[in-house]
Amino acid sequence: MPSNSAITIPQKPDIVGRHDHVGPSPLLEADDVARYIGMTADWVYREVRAGRMPHIRLGRYVRFRRESIDAWLLERERGPAAIRARSR
């Protein structure tokens, strides 16, 4: 193997914002939700433990529906722009 060759590390597919499937959206992991809302995965897990974020528990795993996260974010939005957005 040549020493100058670039090594490509396969990455986890970015499922946030993906719309090429039919049926229910795929479940998101805490890292996906954190990236989607601009927070850390630790913050997401703390919100789940406190019962403040919608989630699905599958044994010891926690998963999220994007639609539920979107609705949850809308409920928390504050200010005049938020009121106009919700009244549409």
**pLDDT tens digits, residue range 8-33?**
544 555 555 555 556 778 999 999 99
54, 70 contact by CB (below 8 A): no
Any bridge partners for residue 61, and if so which? 58
CA–CA distance, 20 with 57 (Å, rounded to integer) = 25
pLDDT at 33: 98
pLDDT at 25: 82
Residue 3 tokens read as 């020493």
At 87 the three-state DSSP class reads coil
Q: How do residues 42-84 score in pLDDT, each as one tens digit?
A: 999 999 999 999 999 999 999 999 999 999 999 999 888 666 6
